Amino acid sequence: MKLVTAVIKPHKWEEVREALETFGVTGMTVSEVSGYGRQKGHTEVYRGAEYDIALVPKVRIEIVVDEADVEDVVGIVVKTAQTGRIGDGKVWVLPVDSVVRVRTGDRDEAAL
């Protein structure tokens, strides 16, 4: 099992979710986060005083998937979230030792 984490542009989140659902992903954890990469921040001006706001709002998606589906899931996220402009985000994959479904106690693949 692998944990796929994707940090993407907020306006792409709906499209990414639809594409993943069509593929068969049944659930995910989503959070609104902020951070920066090469995109850096932006400038805001209040009463003439300029502030450099470093953090940019992003959406973080976390999905635990079966070994066999990893490449497909990563591919779908990258293809759907891509705009080709700076600040599109990142996707990374980590190994997962075990998963338990809280309601039933099912373990690992059965819990996905």
Could you say whether residue 33 binds other proteins (CB under 8 A)?
Answer: no
Q: Specify the pairing of strand 56-65 against strand 29-35.
A: antiparallel
Q: Is 92 helix (H, G, I), strand (E, B) or coil?
A: strand
- Distant-in-sequence, close-in-space partners of 49: CB < 8 Å, separation ≥ 6: none
Q: Which of 22, 38, 52, 105 lies at the binding interface for other proteins (CB under 8 A)?
A: 52
- Distant-in-sequence, close-in-space partners of 50: CB < 8 Å, separation ≥ 6: 43, 44
Could you say whether residue 50 binds other proteins (CB under 8 A)?
Answer: yes
The region of 17-25, 47-55, 71-79, 92-100 touching other proteins under the rule CB under 8 A is 47-55
Could you say whether residue 97 binds other proteins (CB under 8 A)?
Answer: no
Could you say whether residue 98 binds other proteins (CB under 8 A)?
Answer: no
Q: Which of 23, 36, 51, 92 lies at the binding interface for other proteins (CB under 8 A)?
A: 51
Least gap, CB of 29 to other proteins (angstroms)? 15
Residues at the interface with other proteins (CB under 8 A): 44-53
